[in-house]
Amino acid sequence: MARLLPLLLLLFLTVLLSRLPSPCASLPIRLNLTHINSKFSNISIEDRNLLAIKRGKLRLAFISSRLSTSLVDVQTNVQYSNQEYSADLAIGTPPVSVSVLLDTGSDLIWTKCEQGSAYNPSASSTYSPLSCGSTFCQNELTSCSDGSTCSFYSPYGSATVGGTMGAETFSFGGTNVPSLAFGCSNSEMGSATTISGLLGMGGGQLSLVSQLGSEKFSYCLTPYDSQSTSPLFLGSLANPDSSSQTTPLGQSPNIPTYYYLSLQGITVGSTKLSIPSSAFAISSDGSGGLIIDSGTSFTMLVPSAYDVLKQEFQSQMGLPVASGNTFDLCFSSPSDGSFQPPKLIFNFQGADMDLPKENYLVSDAGGSLLCLAILPSDQSLSLFGNFQQQNMHIVYDVQGGNLYFAPAQCANL
């Protein structure tokens, strides 16, 4: 019996430790996000909208091609400049500041490491190459062909990023996180050459969310025309507001990167649209569904939903329809300042998102047009964009499988 006690004690401690949360899971992390429009101050609002729409359509095509093998391969037409918000953080010891793009539709964390880049792994005392035996070297983006170097290659349509996988200390708003697996890029092609790196927040193994063991993360996006940054919260700071509504948050079993919402209908004014139930269903081949995405500006809906929305919205607006070069449905701007558009409500499972008019109407053509900031999808997939998410505190409860949202003044969080 005396010999069994140490073994029983060891077994007890092993079980106890296995149930403890990840040491990084409770870290309170806050980052400030900057919208890409701040870099385009020298061009008109109309041109900014055109760039945003182009980025969104290219992104939609790339995600669709990745989800379904039965779709036409359109990756060769996709550009990498499809992101919307960037975050400043620090890498290495001593820490070096870098700006990376935030993306809930990607997993990999990577930054440039070639000569002339801000971050140089050889100058950091906390950098180490990732071994071939690491669990982070066992996925579709990584390989170990020479048996000693864990490398990565990540295609983004016509742009690609490649290099070696490493582990390094990252600093998020003053909070240090050691030994994060990341891609140290020494080869970028296409429009990937114009950015410094990416912060993947998807549901896959390599994402920041997964590596931290975070049960939740959240963001609150300030309006496009605001000069204020948008907060991103991880760990204990990512708590839903008391007034939040909640709806199921789904993930594909084949590609866990993307976050899906169950959209059951759309209401314009007081009219619930007659949209077929199949419009937002995920097909057996992996296509379809509605993905909530931080990297897409304007929501894009499959034709079976968008066409019904367009017809009813046009009927209720009561303004002359006008041709626009940017959006699909535009009206002559009202001269009466008291004009009120019809309400637009997204009816998710268990929750209704009643959008403020600033989240679905946008001024165009020098203010002479008022346009619906929702577009038709040319794929079998729909995306819920960040324009519709402005001034909403949105919490991704990844562990619990729920999305919480509530109206908020994001600049004040």
Q: Which residues are catalytic?
A: 103, 293
List the one residue out of 193, 263, 247 whose CA is nearest residue 394: 247
Residue 301, C-beta contacts closer than 8 angstroms, at least 6 positions apart = 279, 309, 374, 375, 376, 377, 382
Q: Which long-range contacts does 114-121 make (Cβ < 8 Å, 24+ apart)? A: 114/185, 114/186, 114/187, 117/196, 118/196, 119/91, 119/92, 120/96, 121/92, 121/166, 121/168, 121/184
Other beta carbons within 10 Å of 98: 21
Burial of residue 153 (CB within 10 Å: 0-12, 13-18, 19+) is middle
Of 127, 121, 119, 105, whose CA–CA distance to 56 is shortest?
105
d(CA 93, CA 121): 9
Between CA 180 and CA 178 the distance in angstroms is 6
